[in-house]
Chains A and B, each alone.
Chain A
């Protein structure tokens, strides 16, 4: 049976490939976009891909004002694998991650993009706000923390353990119990499609990342910071986001009732209630500061 997304104008998402040069290596990455206006670049969670943002990209309330883009990191989703992956394990580093994001934005000549990221994407946006405040229109972090721990375990990449099966169980509890069965299945399906060791390496980056002593230097006057976290998330619990926001002068934070670690996919209609005020404010701020978008 084919499940219909709520906004059934599926023609509006366009997928393309882009050759992206990062640290001397060219990666063929896949991205999708919909809409026109202020660029809004979306970052998927560990081991996942841009399908997590499909409802957002089909929402006319957003795409009438924003050019929404979402790319799959190298070796994720429909992007090509890392060269030589059979012999070497590609380590995801903060430098590679943020360089890839900024190179993507530069390659498409995105003017002052707003970056919206979830989970590890929600954490990297803090580094982007810190390092590239003049290049961005703002950042929105979903399930954001400056440091997390406790879920980097050896079983994520173990010869005796079926990684695809294990990961689906490992991730399942992060989803809000209020999410529909279909959306839960979609989230876990995307995780099940990840390439070998991709989840383990993304987790290795995410759970060794620690920017707690740096984020106080973020200047939200140059790059506004908005943080939204689902109440059911235990990988990035609400109190972790609140503690992170407390270190960033001017950062805004809201805890989202009824949502978990994947708010944009679990229940977009409900998530939208939290997202739209942020987008509305950022749109106004963007236009006041930078004029009209193309």
Chain B
């Protein structure tokens, strides 16, 4: 199965994220290093006060991150397609389709920004 995540795709999505007004409003105080894992593909988004400054491929334990959102490529594919049972982030976390790890409190403090960011990913899944 093709992995929905790639460096080029994620970089393109980040451009949309940084342009998004609704995301910007929700992410004013969002400063974090977010690790997104889709099977073997792992990327760290460095975010400062809402702006995604950098997308970097995760290499090894020396790469720091604050919280991680992990899933298999298949689960991410279904989330991106808003498949039944994959309504939203909390549905996926509850059912174990996606896993949230690390500084979960930081993630929940910025849940509006995180949801908006994932929404932009969904909207641009075919870019």
A binding-site residues for B, Cβ under 8 Å: 150-151, 155, 158, 160-162, 165-166, 169-170, 172-174, 177, 232, 234
Contact = CB atoms under 8 A, between A and B. Distances in A.
A169 B91 contact: no
A173 B109 contact: no
**Across the A-B interface, the 7 shortest Cβ-Cβ residue pairs:** A173-B88, A173-B87, A155-B108, A173-B91, A234-B91, A169-B111, A169-B115
A166 B85 CA distance: 21
Given A150-B94, A234-B94, A166 B111 contact: yes
B95 interface: yes
Given A150-B94, A177-B82, A234-B94, A165 B112 contact: yes
A172 B88 CA distance: 8
23 contacts: A150-B94, A151-B94, A155-B105, A155-B108, A158-B105, A161-B105, A161-B109, A165-B112, A166-B111, A166-B112, A169-B90, A169-B115, A170-B111, A172-B115, A173-B88, A173-B89, A173-B90, A177-B82, A177-B87, A232-B84, A232-B87, A234-B91, A234-B94
Identify whether the interface residues of A are mostly helix, strand, loop, or mixed: loop
Nearest to B107: A155
B78 to A, nearest CB: 14
Interface residues of B, number: 16
Interface string B72-88: 00000000001011011
Contacts of B115: 169, 172
Contact of A158 (B89, B94, B108): B108
A177 B84 CA distance: 10
Nearest to B112: A165
Identify whether the interface residues of B are mostly helix, strand, loop, or mixed: helix
Given A232-B84, A232-B87, 16 more contacts: A151-B94, A155-B105, A158-B105, A161-B109, A162-B109, A166-B111, A166-B112, A169-B90, A172-B115, A173-B87, A173-B88, A173-B89, A173-B90, A173-B91, A234-B87, A234-B95
Given A150-B94, A169-B115, A234-B95, A161 B108 contact: yes
Interface of B: 82, 84-85, 87-91, 94-95, 105, 108-109, 111-112, 115
Contacts of A151: 90, 94
A242 B111 CA distance: 33
B77 to A, nearest CB: 17
B111 A165 contact: yes
A160 B94 CA distance: 22
Given A150-B94, A155-B105, A234 B85 contact: yes
Contacts of B111: 161, 165-166, 169-170
Nearest to B87: A173
Contacts of B91: 173, 234
Contacts of B90: 151, 169-170, 173
Contacts of A177: 82, 87
A87 B91 CA distance: 34
Nearest to B106: A160
A169 B87 contact: no
